[in-house]
């Protein structure tokens, strides 16, 4: 009977490995859910489905192919930064942004570059290394560099394509204006986490009105105060710095729940701009936020007392911008309530190096503010947040 036991054990190992591969490679097929780590059940996603439109035909319409997201946000018609600069996006080169080389290391000529399959693939159909993804998706790369944890990444076996799909990468024949447009993305917490273990912070109110990202995002990061003269004159990205250890709360369109959000800020010829958007950071933690991190926190108290929420401020004594901290709910009167300070870079805009002593205070207040794919919290939601909460 020893040989039968050995066969049984070997079969169990093979079966476990097969099921594990299905979960890690986005190919589960309706098998029973797997117990999650104290947080309910994890159901493997559905099977890998062959795209209805072949990749070679769909790619030109994909976000990787069109780069429409940048144009959507920048557009003056959408309340974007173009309204302040007056410079069309096709004169800046943003839509031809590239990581310097193809996936196989072949140098890219910026003058002739057009997106194609070899940006990501060394050979058509090969498995794309996550490091290739991070060459363009720099916020995720920066999250890792800053040491933020992520339960999926830390598990050791999740890849980008464990959550994201071929349709997202190659397109489906439809042109989307942004990855935030409803229908553009398949990746969602709920595709695997079909149920959650009920406890104090998983009550009906939160589950119905608050998205997973609002409580389980450790932090978002933001590229703040990009010096647009450097982009226009020298094709150099020159932000003042990375803002971290904060999370905005917005209502995401198409989801209908309170969602994590972030911002991006720019200046050009003395004018300032801030964009606010929903954001899905790759800094997900198992333990959700404590009640007082959102309810009656410092930002909420400032809003109750002054009608304002300080997001960034210039510290004259230290000669630097101080960034946001903690949870910042975006209130209904966000254009008037949110307080931003800005700096200007007085060095050579064409220089590839940045002299930190050349940043000087520019102004308080934003000349133009934009929010797409999201809405501010409601008056009722702000009132609920102003009340101390205990389960």
Tens digits of residue pLDDT in 228-256: 999 999 989 999 999 999 999 999 998 88
Whether 27 shows a pLDDT value over 50: the answer reads no
Report DSSP state, residue 103: T
Percentage of the residues of the chain whose pLDDT score is greater than 90: 73
Whether 184 shows a pLDDT value over 70: the answer reads yes
CA 25 to CA 14: how far, in whole Å? 16
Indicate the range of 56-65, 148-157, 193-202 predicted with least confidence: 193-202
Select from 251, 255, 249, 187 the least CA-distant residue to 214: 249
Q: What is the mean pLDDT of residues 105-120?
A: 91
CA 280 to CA 340: how far, in whole Å? 23
Q: How confident is the model at residue 21 (pLDDT cuts 50, 70, 90)?
A: very low
Where along the chain do its domains lie?
A: 11-47, 49-187, 203-391
C-beta separation of 370 from 79 below 8 A: yes
Beta strands at 258-268 and 226-227: parallel, antiparallel or unpaired: parallel
**Residue 370: HSE in the Cβ half-sphere, 13 Å Cα cutoff:** 23
Q: How confident is the model at residue 95 (pLDDT cuts 50, 70, 90)?
A: confident
Whether 201 shows a pLDDT value over 80: the answer reads no
Whether 10 shows a pLDDT value over 80: the answer reads no
In the numeric block, which tokens belong to residue 310?
């300080």
Tens digits of residue pLDDT in 147-166: 999 999 999 989 999 999 99
Q: What is the mean pLDDT of residues 138-146?
A: 95
Neighbouring C-beta atoms of residue 305, cutoff 10 Å: 8
Confidence (pLDDT) at 254: 86
Whether 258 shows a pLDDT value over 80: the answer reads yes
Q: What is the mean pLDDT of residues 156-180?
A: 94
């Amino acid at each position: 009977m020893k040989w039968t036991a050995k066969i049984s054990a070997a079969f169990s190992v093979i079966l476990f490995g097969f099921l594990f591969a299905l979960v890690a490679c986005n190919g589960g097929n309706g098998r029973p859910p797997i117990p999650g780590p104290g947080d309910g059940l994890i159901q493997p996603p559905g099977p890998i489905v062959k795209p209805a439109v072949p990749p070679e035909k769909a790619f030109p319409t994909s976000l990787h192919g069109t780069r429409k997201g940048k144009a959507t946000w920048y557009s003056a018609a959408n309340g974007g930064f173009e309204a302040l600069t007056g410079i069309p996006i096709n004169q800046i080169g943003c839509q031809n942004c590239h990581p310097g080389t193809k996936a196989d290391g072949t140098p890219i000529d910026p003058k002739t570059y057009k997106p194609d399959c070899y940006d990501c693939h060394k050979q058509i159909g090969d498995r794309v290394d996550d490091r290739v993804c991070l060459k363009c998706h720099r916020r995720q790369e920066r999250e890792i560099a800053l040491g933020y944890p992520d339960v999926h990444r830390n598990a050791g076996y999740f890849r980008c394509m464990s959550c994201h799909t071929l349709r997202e990468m190659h397109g489906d024949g439809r042109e989307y204006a942004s990855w935030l447009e409803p229908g553009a993305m398949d990746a969602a917490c709920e595709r695997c986490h079909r149920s959650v273990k009920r406890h104090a912070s998983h009550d009906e109110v939160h589950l119905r009105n608050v998205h997973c990202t609002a409580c389980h995002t450790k932090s978002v990061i933001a590229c703040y105060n990009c010096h647009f003269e450097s982009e226009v004159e020298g094709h150099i990205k020159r932000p003042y710095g990375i803002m971290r250890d904060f999370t905005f709360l917005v209502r995401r369109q198409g989801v209908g729940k309170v969602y994590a959000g972030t911002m991006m800020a720019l200046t050009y010829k003395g004018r300032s701009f801030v964009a606010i958007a929903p954001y899905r950071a790759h800094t997900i933690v198992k333990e959700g936020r404590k009640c007082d991190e959102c309810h009656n926190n410092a930002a909420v108290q400032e809003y109750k007392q002054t009608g304002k929420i300080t997001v960034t401020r210039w510290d004259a004594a230290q000669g630097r911008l101080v960034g946001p901290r903690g949870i910042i709910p975006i209130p209904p009167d966000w254009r008037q309530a949110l307080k931003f300070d800005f700096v200007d870079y007085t060095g050579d805009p064409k220089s590839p190096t940045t002299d930190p002593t050349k940043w000087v205070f520019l102004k308080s207040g934003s000349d133009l503010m934009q929010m797409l794919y999201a809405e501010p919290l409601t008056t009722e939601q702000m009132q609920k947040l102003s009340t101390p909460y205990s389960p």
